[in-house]
Amino acid sequence: MTVDQPDRRALECAGWRTLLDYRENHVRDDEGTLLAVVPRWTAEAERLDEGQRPSQMVVASATAGSLDEAWSKLRRATSIAGRRPYDGAADFA
């Protein structure tokens, strides 16, 4: 299978597991008439950082109006996330 987004391909080659989700936000007037459909792409990536002791999961997420923009934003977010590993403590706070 060939991935056609170069940013996604680069992430997966670097060891990130990727996920893509699509939603549509419907904009309606007071009477319920559909005025617009706003696409929202959410790209996510996760990777186990075995360089840390103990190993930690590194996660990143990005949302955009287009598919290519979502992957591009996610690629930038993973470079930040790689320097700040996810420890899960905030999930239980």
68-78 pLDDT, tens digit per residue, is 999 999 999 99
| pLDDT at residue 82 tops 70 | no
- What is the pTM (predicted TM-score) of this model? 0.74
Domains of the chain and CATH, by start: 6-87 (3.30.160)
Question: How, if at all, do strands 17-28 and 56-64 pair?
Answer: unpaired
All residues at 6 or more sequence positions from 27 whose CB lies less than 8 Å from its CB, including other chains: 34, 35, 36, 37, 38
Measured between alpha carbons, how far is 51 from 10 in angstroms, rounded to an integer?
Answer: 20
